[in-house]
Chains A and B, each alone.
Chain A
Amino acid sequence: MTPIANMQLETAIHPEGLKRVVIEPITRVEGHGKITLLMDEQNQVKQARLHIVEFRGFEKFIQGRPYWEIPVLVQRLCGICPVSHHLAAAKAMDMLVGARKLTPTAEKLRRLLHYGQTLQSHALHFFHLASPDLLFGFDAEVAKRNIIGVIQAHPAIAVQGVMLRKYGQEVIRVLSGKRVHGNFAIPGGVNKKLTKEDRDYLMKDLDQVLEWSKGAVDIARGIYTGNLAENASFGAFRSNYLSLTAPDGSFELYDGGLRATDANGQRIFDQVNNDHYLRHIHEEVKSWSYMKFPFIVALGNDDGWYRVGPLARINNADRMPTPLAEEERRRFAAMGEGGPVHATLAYHWARMIEMLYAAEAIRDLLDDPDIYGDDLLTQGERALEGVGVIEAPRGTLFHHYVVDETDSVVKANLIVATTNNNTAMNVAVREVAAHYLDGQELTEGLLNHLEVAIRAYDPCLSCATHALGKMPLEVELLAANGNLVDRLVRNADGHCEEK
């Protein structure tokens, strides 16, 4: 494993005359992105980048909209984890209406929605998107390396994936009215109570879901430990980790304080109030990607980048609140030998531990009498600014809004899970490019190694691109011989200059 993550391949010193290899689009991820490699005549990799080529602009066009509309509007960022955006925005709106503490029923119902989403999203990623690589091999025949191949070769696993996702979607539908883009969390609480009939309906399949979730952890663990040396080093690098944890340091998906640890597992900060995130997290913009690059302020933009998502959450948590997931977390943590597990492919294992936790947490909530309460809304002293932070399936998600006296949003800042992993995914691409592709004759199977590294992060590229008018751009005019003829640069402040 590289002691310090490989940052050298971000920009080639002399790009002129280098061969350009493009993987576009990256497959089996949400959204649109591409990987570019610049290679010399000996196929030595000189530059490797993950580019996000789509563009959304939500931060800009929600300006002027009334605050109560935002949780429903921003969930359209995504079709896979809209619940995350719905809840993160609703948490921010809770601050605006002075609902610092929700009623027990409202908070538990929101948690139920969130765990349903975590379950379906993780099942989708592991079974539909990642399993073809993991079950058949990274360079297996491309015609077989897809979900259809999984259905043909491993029908039982494929069916479990479909049914697990279906269950999570049903939890979402029962609460929000629709499987995708429903309507449930409102400023200060939720708009609907859970009936006994709903509860019985969701309990019906839960034992099976728990069994399948346990089986999924076994599969993920078995794959990882079955070829430990290779899997522990593939695209692996040391990094910082960021996630929410509960006040007692245990695993948390819905609420809690921000915890950041370094590559040795030492705390950088802990239990940071969500409202103060901007004191600790800043974002850098680069000219070659629509996605921003967040970093921990105390460490600076070169060393302060970090990873989020299942790997970060399991690394950061002192314990899991549910017994089966805790048992699996201990097994996972043992691989780190006292420190964090840094392997990129360990994301899959961590993700399945989280799916098991989600199933257990759903069971606990459905057994909790609070969940049937009628007290759904609360409010207090109004405010003009609100921050909502949540652990989305792909990692820590920040929603920050400022409204004016007319209830209209005047400013918004979204740092999406995938954005948090931007540098990490680029580093993973460079690691894999340097170790597997350097000097090799490129094949589809080798190029898929780059996509495998990206997929481990389960990126949602469509979620991650929002800034409008902030993106610096470089336009270069090259002569046929590769010599630079002209170059135009637009800085992050929008100012253009010729260089």
Chain B
Amino acid sequence: MTSSFFLDGKEIPFKEGQTVLQAAMGAGQYIPHLCWRPELEPHSSCRLCIVIISGKPFSSCTQPAMEGQKVECNTPKLNAMRRAVTQLLFVEGNHYCPSCEESGNCKLQATAYHVGMQDSHFPHQFPIRERDSSHPRVNLDRDRCIRCETCVRASRELDGKNVFAIHGRGIKSRLAVNSPTSLLKDSGISPDDMAVKLCPTGALTVKRVGFEWPIGQRIYDKESLATIELREYANQEAVHG
């Protein structure tokens, strides 16, 4: 027997063990997210996938789908909150889209468009963060890091390297490199690592190839974030079940 719940009134089937987000994505219903990746353990830190269940907020990436539950997702109030959360991500880093090589390929930027972000709204914090360009092939620009820990998890779970960690707490937390010198050049990072490939912003990039993708041929130039994410999830499901 197939179980199901209701997402904004629409019936969503799910399999045992699936989260609300997984089931929704599998049913073609996009829920905004930044720190969640289908191939990684959920992290529940970006707060974009928050939904309301029985009047209470839950991260849909960690909340198990349950029979018959009523989930609110695409509501004006939640969308406004997602927009504010995205704006906070922008102002607490240093994100200069006009000169960023990831512009057009950046999931953070695409998310900002998706949630209707028109401006930063909140005062910019202008934090001072160190860039690590010591590695010959990989660049770490902490100005663009949103501390979603995608690289931390990908390095550990997919690359088997454990190159990254979050150091410090709260507003002073930053991405740290697990190497004798704390520099990328002395870590085991490689440009082919999933930690680099899955970074949703331009914090981790492969050196010397920036801007090789012309405007009009970048990831989010032709298709929306939701379309791409749903297709990738469907492909992932088809391969791994």
A406 contacts the other chain (CB 8 A): yes
Is A186 among interface residues, defined by CB-CB distance under 8 A?
Answer: yes
Using A64-B131, A66-B139 as known contacts, say yes or no to A72 and B207 having CB atoms under 8 A apart: no
Chain A neighbourhood of B213, CB < 8 A: 191
What's the nearest-Cβ distance from chain A to residue B180, in Å? Answer: 18
A69 pairs with B99, CB closer than 8 A: yes
Residues of A within 8 A of B217 (CB): 192
Whether A66 pairs with B216 at a CB distance below 8 angstroms is no
Name the B residues within 8 Å of A435 (CB-CB): none
Could you say which of B139, B210, B215 contacts A176, with CB atoms under 8 Å apart?
B215
Expressed in whole angstroms, the Cα–Cα distance for A176 and B100 within the complex equals: 16
Contact with B along A57-86 (1 / 0, CB 8 A): 000000010101101110010000000000
Minimum CB distance partner of A76 in chain B: B98
* B140 smallest CB distance to A (angstroms): 11
- B-facing mask of A75-109, CB < 8 A → 1, else 0? 01000000000000000000001000000000000
The number of residues on chain B lying at the interface, defined by a beta carbon within 8 Å of a beta carbon of chain A, is 19
Interface residues of A in 21-70 (CB under 8 A from B): 64, 66, 68-69
Q: How far is the CB of B121 from chain A (nearest CB, A)?
A: 23
Quick one: closest A residue to B210, CB to CB?
A68
Roughly how many angstroms separate A407 CA and B210 CA in the complex, as a whole number?
A: 12
Contact with B along A167-210 (1 / 0, CB 8 A): 00000000011100111101100011000000000000000000
The CA of A186 and the CA of B207, in the complex, are separated in Å by: 13
Q: Quick one: which of B186-232 are within 8 Å of A by CB? A: 207-217
Query: Which single member of B207, B212, B214 contacts A66 (CB below 8 Å)?
Result: B207
The residues of B that contact A184 with a CB separation of less than 8 Å are 214
| Interchain CB contact (< 8 A) of B214 among A76, A183, A406 | A183
Which B residues are CB-close (under 8 A) to A72?
Answer: 98-99, 101, 211
The binding surface of chain B is classed by DSSP as loop
Which residues of the other chain, B, contact A182 by a CB distance below 8 angstroms? Answer: 215
Chain A residues closer than 8 Å to B210, beta-carbon distance? 66, 68-69, 186
| A407–B133 CB distance below 8 A | yes
Q: Which of B131, B207, B208, B215 contacts A177 (CB 8 A)?
A: B215
Does B3 lie at the interface of the complex (its beta carbon under 8 Å from any beta carbon of A)? no
| C-alpha spacing A187/B207, complex, angstroms | 12
Q: Are B207 and A183 in contact (CB under 8 A)?
A: no
Whether A491 sits at the interface, judged by CB under 8 Å, is no
**How many residues of chain A get a CB closer than 8 Å to chain B's CBs?**
23
Query: For the complex, is B74 an interface residue (Cβ under 8 Å from A)?
Result: no
A408 touches B (CB below 8 Å): yes
Residues A191 and B211 in contact in the complex (CB < 8 Å), given A181-B98, A407-B133: yes
Does B182 interact with chain A (Cβ within 8 Å)? no
Question: Is there contact, CB below 8 Å, between B99 and A73?
Answer: yes
Q: How far is the CA of A183 from the CA of B133 in the complex (A)?
A: 23
**Closest beta carbon of chain B to A441's beta carbon, Å:** 48
Q: Judging by beta carbons under 8 Å apart, are B207 and A407 in contact? A: yes
Chain A residues within 8 Å of B209, by CB: 68
Q: Which chain A residues border B216 with CB–CB below 8 Å?
A: 177
B214/A68 in contact, CB under 8 A: no
Closest to A70 in B: B99
* A186 pairs with B99, CB closer than 8 A: no
- Contact B211 A186, beta carbon cutoff 8 Å: yes
Task: List 6 contacting pairs A-B, 8 Å CB cutoff, sorted by A.
Answer: A66-B210, A71-B211, A97-B208, A176-B214, A177-B214, A183-B214
B residues near A (Cβ < 8 Å) are 98-101, 131, 133-134, 139, 207-217
Given A72-B98, A408-B131, output 4 extra A-B contacts at Cβ < 8 Å. Answer: A66-B133, A68-B101, A69-B101, A406-B134
